[in-house]
Chains A and B, each alone.
Chain A
Amino acid sequence: MRAGGQKWEWHIEPRYWRNPLIYVGILVVAPVLIYFIYPPLLPTIIEANLLAAIAIPLALMTISTGRMNFGPQFYIGIGGYTAALLSIHFHLSPGLTMLAAAVGGLVFGFIMSPMAIISGGLYYSLLTLLFPLLFLEATYIFTDLFKGDTGLSGVAPLVSTGYFSLNLLIYAFISLTIMLVYLFAMDKIFRSRYAIQMAAINDDEEVANSIGVNVNKVKILGFTIAATLVAVVGWFYAHYYQAFSGQIFLPLSFMLKIFMVTMLGGRTQIYGCVIGGYFIAFLEMILIRLTGDMSPVLFPIILLILLLVLPEGLFGLYRKRRYREYMPTLRFRR
């Protein structure tokens, strides 16, 4: 490229940053357009960003441990309840509750990370499946603290401009920022040498150990970081809805939504998680508007059909047509 008689050379070739920039641009511009054209769509955009923001660290957890965690919603519960309790009882600002939620996710993630080392295969899946159910039981038992089914209400909002649509727009940008930060961080991790170690653990743990990979360290780090990031999403839910109830976030139905985001996104493909998140959120919204009270029946039916017809997800369709490696592909193995 020439400009002012001088030859200009890109340090990084455009083909590596052009498409990501276009897609991020679309994600940034879309909420603004929707705000002016049809503001009721903004909650759907927020939900899509949050689903993607949960699925992206889950991809890290899955790849780093080589196992599928069936209870990511446990850390949403940790983050959400921590933020809600501190906001309601101690009137802490959202910034401080975010810090507390992250610390809560870090602590619980670290305490539970040995599961990824001790248990394998089905037992790991069972343990991770049981923890959110245990948490849900605890919210019913300790009703004074967690308020059972009703949940905690009266959490301070993140944003309060006095205009509902403007609040939603700002929430949309905050959720988008969280998702993009997670995406950028995971992209960096998956382009680093840690990704090669994770790939080695995925393929064969014993061989990886024998060639000097610190398997336990990689698993614990991946698990703990992912748990912390998911807990922050729980924090956002608490301040966004100004309430938090385990009845909504801890049961298997919410876990299924997160997993469909992961599966539709191409199974631990982090860019696919964004596609999966938007697809699931908009599908649910469209079904509710078109079919009303039949949507809870039709939604899982459609997701089941998609799961069977597209085992590689929507992102898999794209990869079949345009197979290019922008980064090392890590394959998740059972």
Chain B
Amino acid sequence: MLGALETTLIYTCLLGSLYLLVSLGFSLICGVLRIFHLGYAYIFTATVYLTWMFMTLFGTPPYSTTVLVIAIICMLAVQAGIAVAIYKGLIVRYLQHEEIIILGLLFVAIIVEQAALRFYPIQTGVYLETTVIRGVSQLGQVTVSNQLIFAAILGIVITGLFVLFFLKTKLGLAVRAISYDIHSSRLMGIQVQRVFMFVMVLTLIPVILATLAIAPIWAVDPYMGWGYMSIAILVSVLGGLGNIKGTIMASYIIGFVHSVVGFVFNQPVYMGLAALVVVLVMLIVRPQGIAKSETVW
């Protein structure tokens, strides 16, 4: 009994923090831009495969840390460019036509996935050596990878920084104001378009960090983005679309559900289904989610 409780607690914290990092960007876009970023999956795939592409371009195996750092910087630049292009080419033009935005974003995700599959199929053996802390640690009866612990701590730190940014900075205040009322924000002189573009780029940070942190320990393939996007959708919907408080609570709830089903009942195959059912029930009973939705804080 105590062992099960210990396992549940540890994995709830680990998985919850990881899911928080994965879902933060999605929730932010929902809360500020008020769009459902169904193409969110492309960020995960693009992070891994762009980094790999630049690594093979600038170096030869075994890849040095310098090559890895340069590859990551180049990947960040390309990702920012893609985000701005998506914003200006798709979102700005079709903001009043939600179905076009949703379909367009889905297409972007599929294009990135198929391009990764075509140029770097699974047998290529793409692997990012972004391990920060090697080895494993014994937490009670649970043996956990140190990299996973690092990713969880990173999730908490990044979320804390984001919360501080939204609460203590002028730009963060502008983002919150837009999430409350876009028209009043415009009247107060906030450059809404620029803030939107900033948010599109800002949302890349937690996702890229999450992907780089877990790439060495979890499976990497062109389809990896969909699983993480599903988790991001579930967490954001459960927590209240676009609300960071709700996202924080929901990520730990989903982490709890996954840890109980996967590690206590030993039925990992039911993890996804269990989380889906929880969110479906919430959508029917309380569609607005745990926290007040469509406001950032």
**CA–CA, A202 and B104, complex, Å:** 24
Stretch from B50-58, B110-118, B173-181 that touches the partner: B110-118
Question: Quick one: which of A130, A293, A307 contacts B103, CB cutoff 8 A?
Answer: A307
Q: Using a CB-CB cutoff of 8 Å, which residues 266-308 of chain A contact chain B?
A: 267, 293-294, 296-297, 300-301, 303-304, 307-308
**Cβ-based interface call for A34 (8 A):** no
**Contact, CB under 8 Å: A311 / B118:** no
One of A70, A138, A252, A297 near B114 (C-beta < 8 A):
A297
Is the CB–CB distance between A125 and B36 below 8 Å? yes
Closest Cβ of chain A: how far from B123's Cβ, in Å?
14
Whether A260 is near chain B, meaning CB under 8 Å from some CB there, is: yes
CA A106 – CA B178 in complex, angstroms?
Answer: 44
A141 touches B36 (CB 8 A): no
Tell me the nearest residue of chain B to A294, going by C-beta. Answer: B118
Chain A, Cβ-Cβ closest to B115: A297
B: number of interface residues (CB 8 Å)? 38
Looking across the interface, which residue of chain B has its beta carbon closest to that of A304?
A: B107
CB-CB nearest 6 A-B residue pairs: A304-B107, A296-B114, A297-B114, A300-B110, A123-B287, A137-B273
Q: Is the CB of A308 within 8 A of B287?
A: no
Question: Does B9 belong to the interface (CB within 8 Å)?
Answer: no
Interface residues of B (CB under 8 A from A): 36, 38, 89-90, 93-94, 97-100, 102-104, 106-108, 110-111, 114-115, 117-118, 226, 230, 233, 237, 241, 269-270, 272-273, 276-277, 279-280, 283-284, 287
The reply to whether A122 and B36 contact each other, CB–CB distance below 8 Å, is yes
Contact between chains at A123 and B107 (CB < 8 Å): no
Range of interface residues on chain A?
Answer: 35 or more
- Minimum Cβ distance to chain A for residue B256 (Å): 19
Q: List 29 A-B contacts (CB under 8 A).
A: A119-B283, A119-B287, A122-B36, A122-B98, A125-B102, A130-B276, A130-B279, A133-B230, A134-B273, A137-B273, A137-B276, A140-B269, A141-B270, A141-B273, A253-B110, A256-B106, A256-B107, A259-B103, A296-B117, A296-B118, A297-B115, A297-B118, A300-B110, A304-B104, A307-B104, A307-B107, A308-B89, A308-B94, A334-B97
| Nearest opposing residue in chain B for A311, CB measure | B100
Question: CA A267 – CA B287 in complex, angstroms?
Answer: 28
Interface residues of A (CB under 8 A from B): 68, 70, 118-119, 122-123, 125-127, 129-130, 133-134, 137-138, 140-141, 252-253, 256, 259-260, 263, 267, 293-294, 296-297, 300-301, 303-304, 307-308, 311, 334
Measured in the bound complex, the distance between the Cα atoms of B108 and A123 in whole Å is 23
Q: How far is the CA of A140 from the CA of B273 in the complex (A)?
A: 10
Query: What residues of B have a CB within 8 angstroms of the CB of A123 in the complex?
Result: 283, 287
CA–CA, A308 to B103, complex, Å? 10
B225 to chain A minimum Cβ distance, whole angstroms, is 11
Smallest Cβ distance from A304 to chain B, in angstroms? 4
Contact status of A304 and B108, CB under 8 A, knowing A133-B276, A297-B114: yes
A293 and B276 in contact, given A141-B270, A256-B103, A311-B100 (Cβ under 8 angstroms): no
Q: Is the CB of B269 within 8 A of A141?
A: yes
Cβ contact within 8 Å between A260 and B118: no
Given contacts A126-B233, A294-B118, contact A300 B283 (CB under 8 A): no
